[in-house]
């Protein structure tokens, strides 16, 4: 049952990551700021801390594929949008991908 649960959670997580990357690539920093203005950054940190490389692998998410899809310009856009909180988010993303 755990394998099936991991599979389902992996599919849901993969879709959320894909949607987030799509939005990151498509929208301008101003649009992203507007979209994120009502989100509590602490909730983002809590969610990010639920994952590490091993957990992503357990969920069937290809970390190398994600690494290829996140460019340095994406990282800079995150920093621009989140300001000082962006550095913490970027650190966590880099720990997940590298």
**CA dist list (Å): 87 to 3, 12, 25, 35, 69:** 34, 26, 19, 19, 19
Which DSSP string do the residues of 37-82 spell out, in sequence order? TTS-HHHHHHHHHT--HHHHHHTT--HHHHHHH--HHHHHHHHHHH
Residue 66's pLDDT band, with cuts at 50, 70 and 90, is: very high
Contacts of 11 (CB under 8 A, 6+ apart): 60
Domain extent listing, the chain: 2-97
pLDDT of residue 63: 93
Q: The pTM is what?
A: 0.85
At 29-42, the pLDDT tens digits run: 999 999 998 999 89
């Amino acid at each position: 049952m755990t394998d099936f649960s991991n599979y389902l959670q992996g599919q849901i997580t993969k879709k959320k990551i894909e949607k987030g990357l799509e939005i990151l690539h498509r929208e301008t920093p101003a649009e992203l700021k507007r979209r994120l203005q009502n989100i509590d950054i602490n909730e983002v940190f809590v969610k990010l801390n639920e994952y590490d490389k091993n957990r992503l692998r357990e969920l069937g998410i290809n970390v190398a594929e994600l690494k290829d899809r996140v460019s340095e310009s994406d990282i800079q856009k995150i920093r621009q949008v989140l300001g000082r909180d962006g550095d913490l988010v970027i650190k966590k993303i880099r720990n997940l991908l590298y």
